[in-house]
Amino acid sequence: MWLILLLSGFIGCGFGQSRIGFLDYVRPLSIRREEDPNGALGKLPVLDFLGLVTRHGYPAEQHQVITTDGYRLRLHRVPGSPRSPPGLGKPVIFIHHGILASSDAWILAGPDRDLVYILADAGYDVWLANARGNTYSRSHVHLSPDHDPEFWKFSIHEIALYDASRAIDFILERTSQQSLIITAHSMGTTVTMILLSSRPEYNAKIRLAIFMGGVGSWKHPRNFIKLIKENGQLVQSVIRALQITEFLPQTEATGELLNATCRDGSPFQHLCTSLTQFFVGYDPDLLDTKLLAKAYSYLPAGVSAQTLTHNYQNIKAGKLQLYDHGPVGNIEHYGQNTPPLYNLENIVIPVVLIYGNGDTIASPEDSLDLANRLRYARAEIVPHDGFNHFDFLWAKDVKRLLQDRIMQLIESAEKYGSFSVL
């Protein structure tokens, strides 16, 4: 899958100030309803977020917000369900995706398994993030993502300080709520920690954080992360040499390649599933091959090369730190030769960190280490041997193993107070 992802990544990567020939950014044909025409020959039609949700009879909304530095973000909302119609005063849940993902990742399995639908059925007002640069937030008031390299000059830091903060403020204002609960996966957990440590006033706006596969410590890397830690400098050299600004956007070519490789009946499916599990952890018992192929029509959803670099820097350092601009740049930005660490002591809300013992992105050891470094946190293992990084989203038995427990935590926090979950 690493070779597949690299190939598909370069089919659409942003180079310098423009795109070159066959590398043009061609998105899949996005449709709202399944009965819509499929369009031109060769197009890979995919339902957009609103189409994916409304096909199941759930209401869905799309909202645009603009950050203080000009990025246009799309927030998605599921304000109710057939069992719990939309209404004022519902508790708000904000869900943040991981790296190379979008809000679509949370709604691909359907109402019986996806956390979004389960929350909506239980009476919650569910909002979903889309970080700058992904499929839904690839826009700016002045800059073109295809022609202005400046568009892509952002890392996890900017996603946290500008995107997440703007989204939270908009959601609270729109719903007339004082605070919300955040659930996040993978890099979404990193974004949450950076926001709360850098802008402590947001602790008053988030009353509970539930992390799935939390990423903030890299002392015990496994498989893919270990490979990145030891060899990531080579990838960084390629990114610099080719002046890559955008990496792995959602494109027609990427979707067709991954879907054809991973779908049921493909002679390459075993290669797809084996290499996927090398990246995220080996768990064949919970692997839904049909859903995995569907997911690869929506993922990867794009990321800036600088965000990848920031992730690599953290993995290499083994700790959560600000972006490393090099000695000269660090003095200019921070007044010191090395990037400072994020102050996790500033996070004063309760955090439940749920981890899987088969996760190779957020290893059990690093999950426990992260929980120990947060002031009010508790780590909790998913009760399945081999539970991996993708299982948080798409495991066959994800409702019983994970979603039911998340619902218990949220309901306890709502009934007895947020700190009751610790």
d(CA 258, CA 273): 11
What's at 111, amino acid-wise? P
Does the pLDDT of residue 369 top 80, yes or no? yes
**Whether the model pTM is above 0.85:** yes
Asked if 186 is an active-site residue, the reply is yes
pLDDT in tens, 129-141: 999 999 999 999 9
Query: Where exactly are the structural domains of the chain?
Result: 2-421
3-state helix, strand and coil shares in percent for the chain, rounded to the nearest 5: 45, 15, 40
Tokens 């700016």 -> residue: 140
CA-CA distance, 295 to 217, in Å (whole number)? 27
- Radius of gyration of the chain, Cα coordinates, nearest whole angstrom: 20
Nearest to 312 by CA among 391, 372, 224: 224
pLDDT at position 20 over 50? no
Nearest to 207 by CA among 58, 418, 42: 418
Among 31-40, 69-78, 254-263, 321-330, the range scoring the smallest mean pLDDT is 31-40
- Please state, in angstroms and as integers, the Cα–Cα distance from residue 270 to each residue in 116, 224, 242, 261, following that order: 30, 18, 32, 9
Within 10 A of 170 (CB to CB), how many other CB atoms are there? 17
Q: What is the pLDDT of residues 87-135, one digit of tens each?
A: 999 999 999 999 999 999 999 999 999 999 999 999 999 999 999 999 9
Report which of 152, 117, 120 is spatially closest to residue 137, judged by C-alpha positions: 152
Closest Cα to residue 67, out of 128, 142, 127? 142
Structure tokens at 388: 């991996």
For 2-421, CATH gives 3.40.50.1820
Q: Which of 125, 359, 366, 391 is catalytic?
A: 359
Of 319, 276, 281, nearest to 300 by C-alpha is 276
Name residue, tokens 């993995």.
315
Catalytic residue among 48, 97, 389, 391: 389
pLDDT value at position 8? 45
- Tens of pLDDT, residue by residue over 268-322, are 999 999 989 999 999 999 999 999 999 999 999 999 999 999 999 999 999 999 9
Q: Would residue 359 show up in a list of annotated catalytic residues for this protein?
A: yes
Specify the pLDDT at position 237: 86
Is the predicted pLDDT of residue 39 greater than 60, yes or no?
A: no
Predicted confidence (pLDDT) per residue in 154-167, tens digit = 999 999 999 999 99
Query: H or E stretch including 295?
Result: helix 289-295
Backbone φ/ψ region at 45: left (φ over 0), alpha (ψ -120 to 50), beta = beta
Residue 42 has pLDDT above 80, yes or no: no
> Is 36 known to be catalytic?
no
| CA neighbor of 209 nearest in space, from 189, 225, 194, 236 | 189
Please report the pLDDT score of residue 252 as a whole number. Answer: 83
Q: Which of 186, 363, 367, 418 is catalytic?
A: 186
Q: Where are the beta strands (DSSP E) in 284-406?
A: 303-304, 351-355, 377-381
- Cβ pair 73, 167 in contact under 8 A: yes
